[in-house]
Chains A and B, each alone.
Chain A
Amino acid sequence: MLDVANLTVDFRVDTGWIRSVDDVSFSLDAGATLGIVGESGSGKSVTALSLLRLHNDRATRLSGRVSFDGQDLLALPERRMRELRGRDIAMIFQDPMHSLNPVLTIGEQIGETLRIHQGLDRKAAQVAAANLLDMVRIPDATRRVTDYPHQLSGGMRQRVMIAMAIACRPRLLIADEPTTALDVTVQAQILELLRDLREEIGMSVILISHDLGLVAEFAERVIVMYAGELVEDAPARTIFEAPAHPYSEGLLRAIPSADVDTHRLYAIPGRIPDPGNRPPGCNFEPRCSLAQATCAASPPPLDPIAPEHRIRCPIRSAAKEVAE
């Protein structure tokens, strides 16, 4: 259903263009769930926004192909793209505090999606909005529709965002760090809600997070991004139990676990390189414990090492081959 091929995103800065997402390819079947994982600055959110073309046109250059049901979204005229947004592909964002318009009631904001795409009048939209609030388990929904965002808690606001996103029963929902800004207990509830709604509506979901554990728990398939590149693409089980890329390993070790009594939390040493100042070879080489001289020489390719499993690390690819 969704097939992203060689997606590349450049942003304009004062000194020219910098590459934010570099040649990313992945695909997603109808009804499937995909997780995208990486630290901040890895390009995961930029990738997600590119699918809906929500970047500032004048400062962004997109290339590659994003085909959704066979049509290339990057080549679609803006008007057609607009019809698709919110109706076929919906998105929820990280910060529910700022993602809702402070001067419009939540009923108006949820209803707006329906009014645009299904031509509902104000009254019908209001009723539908109340039903949606009910669906995302906001108590006392009919009374709540006239509330303004500031009257709701963070978790409630994220539910409103979700209600807004599922209003037209989209086929793909992109959730960009939907729980990062929330309390831990609320996080679990929101994920639970997303999982239930996915089944109920039968939509595909792309879940973006920096938290590998959360993604692996939710998604069937996971891609790991680092410095704008896709570095590992595998089924969630594989990533969680036997990640092949040293970066994925690092992310996994960084998850605080309840059963192991670790007093010190692991963190990958070093920092993600600046987009304008990336190393000539493998982007992860400066932080990698496996790094060899060849790693710094040229950018590594993305190699398949098993069915449904690709990594961007020649050292591990070779080791795997030897092992077989």
Chain B
Amino acid sequence: MARLIAFRIAQAIPVMFVVAVLTFLLMHLLPGDPATIIAGDMADQAAIAQVRHDLGLDRPVAMQLWLWVANLAQGDFGTSLMLNQPVAEAVLERLPVTGSLAVVAFLITIPTGIVLGVIAAVWRDTWADTAVMLLALIGVSVPNFWIAILSVILFSVTLGWFPSSGYVPLQDDFGRWLASLIQPAVVLALFQIGYLARMTRSAMLDVLDQDYIRTARAKGVSITITVAKHAFRNTLMQVVTVSGYILSLLIGGSVVIEQIFAMPGIGRLLVQAIMARDYPVVQGTMLMLGFAFVFINILIDLIYAYVDPRVRYD
């Protein structure tokens, strides 16, 4: 296991390096001159040159790339122009918000999606299956922010059940923290539940077709136990592999959801930075999110290795 962890981390390093280079190139190779934009419409040539120099944009690209990577290696993700604050600090400050949202949504998605998927597979071709597949279809067809706005109109404005916006930190008040999260998290989860249910269903159908299921039945194991004990655990292993992807999608989705519910998270920081043309923040946020996604993938791989005896004992 320890060797596996070391191996996976060693494998992740080149990927993280590529992520770093790509985020750098994103801001440097695309058309448009950040210095001109940052300096503003009124700026004269001297002011633009000053900005360019301040940002180090007047150096050769290879040099800039080297500095970017070298700074990263020391934990320096750049400095925000609008906040006058290191990017890493700004992102980490907002991490609890986005983290809470994504994790709560994840905790809603996983059990619900799995249960629905198992139901759909076991009662295949019945109305329950149709309903679950329909939910999955709606999940990939309806814009999530649109549902979020409709949900606010219904549950916050009309019924007044949940706060329509804002975020209460966990350490302040657990109840209000949860209340502030429940609506955005459910809306966010809704779209991944369908996806997960569909994946679970197809994994379960696959497993139910395996020879060892027939073996269990030949031993006299009831259908219920066959599904719950023999099929479910094998299905779960396949679900583990998609759960990392789902968590990444939830984090991606929270960028939009944070806007609607006015939650001061990383997504909102990213959008504000785009609007303010705060390139270092855009770059640094993308990079930190990229690292987070790589980290999630490693974590999922390790969980998978732990759950699957075939890997665990190798």
Contact = CB atoms under 8 A, between A and B. Distances in A.
Direct contact of A and B (CB under 8 A): yes
Contact of B218 (A83, A91, A104, A117): A91
B301 interface: no
A113 B313 contact: no
Given A148-B310, A148-B313, A98 B220 contact: no
A139 B4 CA distance: 31
B71 interface: no
B218 A100 contact: no
Interface string A118-145: 0000000000000000000000000000
A54 B218 CA distance: 7
A151 interface: yes
B310 A86 contact: no
A86 B234 CA distance: 23
A87 B219 CA distance: 8
A309 interface: no
Interface residues of A, number: 28
A303 B307 CA distance: 58
Contact of A101 (B218, B222, B234, B313): B234
A239 to B, nearest CB: 28
Contact of A93 (B214, B220, B310): B214
A54 B214 CA distance: 7
A116 B220 contact: yes
Nearest to B237: A103
Interface string B221-238: 110000001100110010
B222 A102 contact: no
B230 to A, nearest CB: 5
Interface string B303-314: 000011110010
B237 A82 contact: no
B212 interface: yes
Interface string A68-109: 000000000000001111110011010100111111100000
A164 interface: yes
| Most chain A Cβ neighbours within 10 Å, of B210, B218, B222, B310 | B218
Given A148-B309, A150-B310, A100 B212 contact: yes
| Most chain B Cβ neighbours within 10 Å, of A52, A84, A99 | A99
B217 interface: yes
A302 to B, nearest CB: 30
B41 interface: no
B221 A93 contact: no
A112 interface: yes
Interface string A134-166: 000000000000001011000000000100100
B215 interface: yes
Contacts of A116: 219-221
B211 interface: yes
Contacts of B220: 82-87, 113, 116-117
Nearest to A105: B309
B216 interface: yes
Contacts of B310: 102, 148, 150
Contacts of B211: 93, 95, 98-99
A110 B218 CA distance: 12
Interface string B275-314: 0000000000000000000000000000000011110010
A113 B210 CA distance: 19
A164 B212 CA distance: 12
A85 B218 contact: yes
B236 to A, nearest CB: 9
B219 A113 contact: yes
B230 A104 contact: yes
A113 B218 CA distance: 10
A93 to B, nearest CB: 6
Nearest to A161: B215
Contacts of A90: 218-219
B220 to A, nearest CB: 4
B309 A103 contact: yes
B221 A99 contact: no
B313 A151 contact: yes
A85 B308 contact: no
B219 A164 contact: yes
Interface in B183-220: 210-212, 214-220
Nearest to A97: B211
A224 B215 CA distance: 26
Interface string A37-64: 0000000000000001010000000000
A299 to B, nearest CB: 32
Nearest to A89: B218
A99 B214 contact: yes
Contacts of B234: 101-103
B32 to A, nearest CB: 53
A261 B117 CA distance: 59
A95 B211 CA distance: 8
30 contacts: A82-B220, A82-B222, A83-B220, A84-B220, A85-B219, A85-B220, A86-B221, A90-B219, A91-B218, A93-B214, A93-B215, A93-B218, A95-B211, A99-B215, A100-B212, A101-B212, A101-B234, A102-B308, A102-B309, A102-B310, A103-B237, A103-B309, A104-B229, A104-B233, A112-B216, A113-B220, A116-B220, A116-B221, A150-B313, A151-B313
Interface of B: 210-212, 214-222, 229-230, 233-234, 237, 307-310, 313
Given A86-B220, A101-B212, A164-B219, 4 more contacts: A85-B218, A101-B215, A148-B310, A151-B313
